[in-house]
Amino acid sequence: MEKQGKWQYNLLRKKVHRPLSRKTALPLPAERNVASADPLPPRAAWSHDGTDATLEISGDWRRDGPEVEITGDAPAQAPARYQVDSLGSYDSTLPAFLLARFRAVTPSPADSDDAPSFTGLPDNLRGLLELALAVPEESDTRNTPQVSSDLRKLGKISLQLWASVSGLANFTGQSVLSLGRFITGKARFRSSEFWLTLQQCGIDALPIVSLISFLIGLILAFVGNVQLANFGASLFVADLVGIAMVREMGVVMTAIIMSGRTGAAFAAHLGSMKANEEIDALRTFGFDPFDFLVLPRLLALVLMMPVLTIYANIVGILGGMLVGFFVGIEPELYWTETLAAVDLTNASLGVIKSVFFGAAIAISGCMQGMKAGNSSAAVGEATTRAVVASITAVIVLDSGFAAIFTLLDI
């Protein structure tokens, strides 16, 4: 039904546009005002003769013209006849106006047995209106405002929340199963896909990770130095930058970069594969899309995140060292101080976290991609959701780790 409606709309537009471009071809009454330089304002006037109503239409009806002036009282039924003697040129606005008037008084023409009468209208207008009324308006296709109460909203939100939590748990569980199949050698995927993903989320990410972590090290050192210099303890900038980088900043910044970079790429790639039925095609060849698409991405990111984190830590410390050099700390001294402050426990905390962050980013990205809808807009939405979900997951996990490490006193 909906398709039919659209088809008619196109036909209507086409038919009206054609006579508009060739004004002389309009089969209008003889004394009409042919395309005068000054278009007359469109007018509609109701007149009543007993129970019958007449609608007189005059002036030029144009999309870009002035608004229509309506005089007289609109009757409760459709006009019995139309009067078009002083009608000028017109485009779709006139049939649209007439159709709206007609619909307002006869909501569903299908109910009445009489064919709608358009006495007095030019042939082409009558044809267009009959075409528009040929199929009755589908009553349940329009958006109806829903009755909304706070309780209903709360219920809706709870259900959505539950659905997304159980969806996440389900997907994580499937990832673990898939990992199990990989370990036992049963999972099948293309090794070239794995190596390509490894490159994309490893080496290709180095420039941005270098820049961000160098600047973060720089900023930490600047801010720290302003405070520590007050106590004459500038040297402790090395401790501050070292511990902050290896425990928190290195891994968190890398995770956020990878969320925006790789998580989004996973979601967009898998989402457009879904929209293009490519995932169905995998399934009908007996490939498990989970093993084939999610597993190599998960493995690649989980492998690369610790490497990137260690790299980010070192670059950040170098950034701090540069600031230290400008405020008068010799690089050798800075390095010795950093080594003294950062022990292996501290250094390993960030790396341990990075494994979990990598898994969280890969799972969020792949999950949003795999459950994306089948349109281009849906792929965009999936990408947005993937970035939001993975950054949220990283920060929430990090808070959890902070609590655990505090409890364990490390």
CB of 286 to another protein, least distance (A): 5
Q: Which residues, 42 to 71, sit near another protein by CB under 8 A?
A: none
Instruction: Identify which of residues 35 and 196 has a Cβ nearer to another protein in the complex.
Output: 196
284 binding another protein? (CB under 8 A):
yes
Candidate ranges 82-90, 114-122, 284-292, 353-361; the one touching another protein (CB under 8 A) = 284-292
Q: Which amino acid, residue 323?
A: V
Exactly one of 108, 188, 343, 396 binds another protein (CB under 8 A); that residue is: 188
CB of 196 to another protein, least distance (A): 8
- CA distances 240 to 222, 306, 337, Å, are 11, 22, 10
What's the DSSP call for residue 371?
T
138 binding another protein? (CB under 8 A):
no
Q: Which residues, 211 to 240, sit near another protein by CB under 8 A?
A: none
131 binding another protein? (CB under 8 A):
no
283 binding another protein? (CB under 8 A):
yes
Query: Read out DSSP for 175-206?
Result: HHHHHHHHHTT-----HHHHHHHHHHTTGGGH
For residue 301, give the H/E element and its range: helix 295-326
Structure-token match 């070192």, residue found: 314
What's the DSSP call for residue 260?
I
CB of 48 to another protein, least distance (A): 43
Helix 295-326, helix 331-341: angle, nearest 10: 130
281 binding another protein? (CB under 8 A):
yes
Whole-angstrom distance, CA of residue 3 vs CA of residue 262: 39
Structure-token match 């006869």, residue found: 106
163 binding another protein? (CB under 8 A):
no
Exactly one of 28, 212, 253, 273 binds another protein (CB under 8 A); that residue is: 273
Exactly one of 37, 148, 285, 407 binds another protein (CB under 8 A); that residue is: 285
Query: With contacts defined by CB under 8 A, how many residues of the chain interact with another protein?
Result: 16
Q: What angle do CA 360, 206, 301 make, to 5 degrees?
A: 25
Rg (CA), the chain: 35
194 binding another protein? (CB under 8 A):
no
CB 237 within 8 A of CB 319: no
Contacts with another protein by CB under 8 A lie at 3, 188, 190, 272-273, 276-278, 280-287
